[in-house]
Chain A
Amino acid sequence: MNRRLALKHVALLAGAAAVLPGCLPQAEREPAVTALSAAQRQLVAEVCETLLPRTTTPGAHDLGLPHYVLKMLADCTPLPEQQLFVAGLGQMDAAAQRQHGRSFGASSLAQRATLLQHLDQQPADFSNELAGFYRTTRQLTIDGYTNSKYFMTKQVVYELVPGRYNGHYPVSKVDLANPRHGQS
């Protein structure tokens, strides 16, 4: 067995379970992610860009992460979790209205970030659907980012062919942006 792979798999499963609050019945009537409207997709894109904005380096939009998030939801996520995501997405504008008096899309970049910070730090202030929507979107956006060609060639570099193994490597010498010492 490939034990290291299995281990990582266990960690991923544990993470996925934590995203799933016990409120699925209310979300049951929601459609799957494939049925989202253009406006809803736009809202997802705005949330993704708020999570990982363009700075001196590419952001969510530049790297196509909204598409990645929706694809992973549509293709690789059980329907109840998709429905929870859709239900939470449907509550985003109302939450933005309550905090800033306008929809998420009409909010300033700072207001968008403030709302997501609140969801990030105090999810208990929000419904389970909203909190779940936020956690899922955040995790998938991060996954898409760290799995992107840009990130894996320019930031924390992935090596297809390491050609070596050192089991006693000094942490002080690790340079993740160096093709020889990036992620495994």
Chain B
Amino acid sequence: MANLNIDSVKARTFDAIVIGSGMSGGWAAKEFTDKGLKTLVVERGRQVEHNKDYPTTNLNPWEFAHNGKVPQAMQEANPIASRCYVFKEDAMHFVVKDQEHPYVQEKPFDWIRGYQVGGKSLLWARQTQRWSKYDFEGPARDGFAVDWPIRYDDLAPWYSHVEKFAGISGNRDGLAELPDGEFMPGFPLNAVEEHFRQRVQKSHPDRHVISARCAHLSQPQPIHYEQGRVQCQNRTLCQRGCPFGGYFSSNSSTLPWAMKSGHLTLKPDLVVQTILYDEQKGRATGIRVVDTHTKATVEYYAPVIFVNAGALNTNLLLLNSTSHRFPNGLGNDSGVLGQYVAFHNYSARVFAEYDGLPDLTTDGRNPAGGGYLPRFRNVRKQETDFLRGYATSFGASRDLVQPAHGLGASLKQQLERPALGPWRVHAGMMGETIPKATNYVRLDSTRKDAWDMPLLSISVDYDDNDAKMKQDFFEQFTDMFTQAGFTNIRPQDSHQAPGLDIHEMGGVRMGRDAKTSLLNRWNQLHACPNVYVTDSACMTSTSTQNPSLTYMALTARAVDHAVRELKKQNL
């Protein structure tokens, strides 16, 4: 028996454990296995294998039962998921249903989740921008949160590392506030996006309209073919999973790559309940998981553990990982675990039309979405009555117009030869929010889910700074649109709750001081250094960039550190 037990423990012991298989977990798996470590990745959701498990990917519009719409009963049962733009007939199977995974909203918060292998990397909007030095310096300069323990130069080589493998399309725009990366050719601005770029250049020389940078293969390199991925085919059906591997996801890229190494063990359908902590060794030793179907629990062991469960679930897991040494959650000596959660303010848009360039339209589809304006407020110094600023998505398109009236044979003819509508333009704000102790998550004291995990209780809200910033966005884009000759300009406040941006961050922030932060400059828990957190939970501040690229770079950098430390026997 003793031998059997030893064998069993041996079979459940790995060189590294990664919790979560989404955007950052996939990267941890790739980096560890590239370095030859026997790696276990546990994922709470079901298996989604590239191509094999994309049931809708090659369906034509008429092959869907409901023309792409979500049935009413499904909408009514899932009010939270239904607010997410991706929750449509073609991809709703990749979005968590409200009732299957309840949580507590102390304040309104739309928590959008993708519980499956690959997580939300299947569903993301694929926008990828580097942070700049101004972003990392932000908290220290403006006196909020805590100082980042790293700067742009620390991350720059790791941005390059992940960009080359993931495949990023973009132009070298030469902007200090949005550093250039390792790019394949960018997707072009269309005629009206280009018109706006030129007008803004004249009216506001410090503001730049550039092609959106995105994780699509516009010109694949050998490293991408080696992953089994080929050129993006401009389908813009990405949320279904891409049979070409045209955009980056864990499913199409990092996970199959890691699997090919022979060093990866991927176990779906396992919820991690706790990280095991050895009081004598002063180290984490492994994890306890529960099988989502059988409810059986089992332990796995490794000398190093990466937590990549997705921002709020990473908070939940650490808060639930208690021991004599850490009664308030693993690594939580400071008491700030779960606090300083922040997000991006996506609640403001400006719509308009343009009568110019009627002789031009677009042909095919642009997977990048259009244009992007890096943050232009308070970049080099404080200029406004609010802190920080916003980046902006900008796009223009023309739709086919359906006649509003009429019937019979003439209606048929009009539908068969539809007119092209006017150019429509829109700008979407992506505002930086300020992390605060009062924006927090915690464990619900009584209620638990089906896997014996406490429900997560979320208390996150906007503040006055967000309101002032939004007002400025409306004013600036109304002015810029007016100067560009756009008409029928319509600012629109969606009043959406935080969370729907799907850019929740923080709660396990990095910092220089163990008294005010959880993680050091290498993403190690200050108080338990063989546990690394490299997903969105680690973010000290949010800046305005779409954040996934930064999680990828932080993860690759942290794995490199962990492997060096393992070799030095420091972990």
Check B359 against A167 for contact (C-beta < 8 Å): no
Check B233 against A161 for contact (C-beta < 8 Å): yes
Chain B residue nearest to A183 (CB atoms) is B400
Rounded to whole angstroms, the CA-CA distance of A117 and B406 in the bound complex is: 7
Contact with A along B230-245 (1 / 0, CB 8 A): 0001111111000000
B160 at the interface (CB under 8 A from A): no
Interface residues in A158-184 by Cβ distance below 8 A to B read 158, 160-172, 174, 176, 180-181, 183-184
On whether A113 and B125 interact (CB within 8 A), knowing A142-B402, A162-B233, the answer reads no
Check B409 against A147 for contact (C-beta < 8 Å): no
A39 at the interface (CB under 8 A from B): no
Interface residues in B420-475 by Cβ distance below 8 A to A read 420, 424, 426, 428
Chain A residue nearest to B188 (CB atoms) is A167
Contacts of A161 in B (CB 8 A): 233-235
Check A120 against B405 for contact (C-beta < 8 Å): yes
Contacts of A169 in B (CB 8 A): 360-363
Contacts of A174 in B (CB 8 A): 361, 363, 420
Check B407 against A117 for contact (C-beta < 8 Å): yes
A55 at the interface (CB under 8 A from B): yes
Which of B26-34, B39-47, B67-75, B514-522 faces chain A?
A: B67-75
On whether A75 and B418 interact (CB within 8 A), knowing A165-B366, A184-B365, the answer reads no
Query: Residue B125 contacts which of A2, A158, A167 (CB distance < 8 angstroms)?
Result: A2
Check B418 against A176 for contact (C-beta < 8 Å): yes
Check A3 against B395 for contact (C-beta < 8 Å): yes
On whether A75 and B66 interact (CB within 8 A), knowing A7-B426, A51-B408, A113-B407, the answer reads yes
A77 at the interface (CB under 8 A from B): yes
Q: How far is the CB of A164 from chain B (nearest CB, A)?
A: 4
Check B408 against A72 for contact (C-beta < 8 Å): no
Check B235 against A171 for contact (C-beta < 8 Å): no
Rounded to whole angstroms, the CA-CA distance of A174 and B234 in the bound complex is: 18
On whether A162 and B67 interact (CB within 8 A), knowing A2-B125, A51-B407, A113-B407, the answer reads no
Main secondary structure of the interface of B (DSSP, over half): loop
Interface residues in A26-52 by Cβ distance below 8 A to B read 50-52
Check A53 against B420 for contact (C-beta < 8 Å): no
Q: How far is the CB of A6 from chain B (nearest CB, A)?
A: 5
Rounded to whole angstroms, the CA-CA distance of A92 and B424 in the bound complex is: 38
Check B407 against A50 for contact (C-beta < 8 Å): yes
A17 at the interface (CB under 8 A from B): no
Contact with A along B44-62 (1 / 0, CB 8 A): 0000000000000010111
Contacts of A152 in B (CB 8 A): 60-62
Query: Residue B409 contacts which of A6, A7, A53, A156 (CB distance < 8 angstroms)?
Result: A53
Check A160 against B71 for contact (C-beta < 8 Å): no
Check A3 against B411 for contact (C-beta < 8 Å): no
Rounded to whole angstroms, the CA-CA distance of A2 and B395 in the bound complex is: 11
Contact with B along A53-64 (1 / 0, CB 8 A): 101010000000
Check A149 against B85 for contact (C-beta < 8 Å): no
B86 at the interface (CB under 8 A from A): yes
Check A120 against B407 for contact (C-beta < 8 Å): yes
Check A143 against B362 for contact (C-beta < 8 Å): no
B415 at the interface (CB under 8 A from A): yes
Rounded to whole angstroms, the CA-CA distance of A105 and B420 in the bound complex is: 37
Chain B residue nearest to A173 (CB atoms) is B363
Interface residues in A137-157 by Cβ distance below 8 A to B read 138, 142-149, 151-152, 155-156
Chain A residue nearest to B393 (CB atoms) is A3
B194 at the interface (CB under 8 A from A): yes
B346 at the interface (CB under 8 A from A): yes
Q: How far is the CB of A45 from chain B (nearest CB, A)?
A: 15
Contacts of B385 in A (CB 8 A): none
Rounded to whole angstroms, the CA-CA distance of A3 and B416 in the bound complex is: 27
Rounded to whole angstroms, the CA-CA distance of A174 and B61 in the bound complex is: 22
Rounded to whole angstroms, the CA-CA distance of A50 and B205 in the bound complex is: 57
Contact with B along A113-149 (1 / 0, CB 8 A): 1001100110000000000000000100011111111
Check A165 against B61 for contact (C-beta < 8 Å): no
Chain A residue nearest to B407 (CB atoms) is A51
Check A164 against B428 for contact (C-beta < 8 Å): no
Chain A residue nearest to B426 (CB atoms) is A7
Contacts of B189 in A (CB 8 A): 167
Contacts of B235 in A (CB 8 A): 160-162
Chain B residue nearest to A146 (CB atoms) is B415
Contacts of B405 in A (CB 8 A): 120-121
B412 at the interface (CB under 8 A from A): yes
24 contacts between A and B (CB under 8 A): A2-B369, A3-B426, A4-B236, A4-B397, A5-B85, A52-B412, A55-B409, A75-B71, A75-B73, A113-B407, A138-B407, A142-B411, A145-B412, A147-B62, A147-B67, A152-B61, A162-B234, A162-B365, A163-B234, A164-B363, A165-B362, A166-B362, A167-B188, A171-B358
The 4 lowest CB-CB distance pairs between A and B, nearest first, are A167-B190, A169-B363, A164-B364, A165-B364
Q: A2-B86, A164-B363 are in contact. List 20 more A-B contacts (CB 8 A).
A: A3-B395, A3-B426, A3-B428, A8-B399, A52-B412, A78-B72, A120-B405, A142-B415, A143-B67, A144-B67, A145-B415, A156-B416, A163-B233, A163-B234, A165-B234, A167-B188, A167-B189, A167-B191, A174-B361, A184-B236
